[in-house]
Amino acid sequence: MKLTSLNTSLFKLDGGAMFGVVPKSIWNKTNPADQNNMCTWAMRCLLIEEGSRLILVDTGIGNKQSDKFFGFYDLKNTFSLESCVNNAGYNIDEVTDVLLTHLHFDHVGGAVNKLDENRFETACKNATYWSNARHWKWATEPNVREKNSFLKENIMPIQESGQLKFVEEGDKLTDNIDLVFVSGHTDAMMLPKIKTEKGTLLYTADLVPSVGHLPIAYVLGYDTRPLLTLDEKEKILSEAVTNNYTLFFEHDSVNECCTLQNTERGIRAERTFNLSEGF
């Protein structure tokens, strides 16, 4: 098995929204804000080569939206999904599976390319796109709170392509990739837990976006069920520290991975490093 980190872009989100009720005087130490209270975040995807399968986890923000839309997020160091896959030594048509942790625009935007005003196509033409029925329904019949995060041009062309398949809770993507379902951030988000010869890697998506979010109470203001997130974080981080998992961060602009340790203040990072150094 070979794992490769794909850094598709940096973008900015409001620090208060990213840390909820945690005061700025605390979170600003780990995730410093600019003059507009915006912090820099990554949109980091993961490419997994396992046997005959080439599996892509999430796809970044893509390029379909307007300049005005992208202007809200101050995108920097942006690369197309295709160029990221090419730079990793593969062709995007070799991707066999695309696992979408959830369908918010910064995770699924790169899954679909825009041909013209009314025509779209999937970015990975030969891949199966994996979601789950609960989350798909949640995204295609959105609540008012999340409606602006679920963009139909990012989602519906996947279904129309015939490449969409669903997994159920308890399913594995492969013998070595378990799927952990969590519903505090959005309903039925999926976290791949990847078993390798070097240990277990947990892709944390928006459950733990960065090292700065490791404290249990540091929960996104975007979460639909923040109290559930607290319970899910406590359970999953306890399992991770007990079993020596490595966490892979989708949104930490500095740290790709970390190992964990128990401290007097709770579970914290033991060592931070790039994926290429540990897996």
Q: What is the pLDDT of residue 204?
A: 98
- Give 133: exposed, middle or buried? Use CB within 10 Å, 0-12, 13-18, 19+: exposed
- pLDDT score at 117: 82
Nearest Cα neighbor of 81 from 52, 119, 112 is 112
Q: Which long-range contacts (CB under 8 A, 24 or more apart) does 26-29 make?
A: 27/212, 27/218
What is the model's pTM? 0.97
Query: What is the biggest distance separating any 2 CA atoms in the chain, rounded to whole angstroms?
Result: 56
Do residues 269 and 214 lie in contact, with contact meaning Cβ atoms separated by under 8 Å? yes
Under-50 pLDDT residues of the chain: none
Question: CA dihedral defined by 71, 72, 78, 80, rounded to 10 degrees?
Answer: -90
In this prediction, residue 279 carries a pLDDT of 79
pLDDT for position 140: 98
So what's the pLDDT on residue 118?
Answer: 85
CATH superfamily for domain 2-278: Ribonuclease Z/Hydroxyacylglutathione hydrolase-like (3.60.15.10)
Q: Using one digit for the tens of pLDDT, what is the confidence trace for 173-219?
A: 999 999 999 999 999 999 999 999 999 999 999 999 999 999 999 99
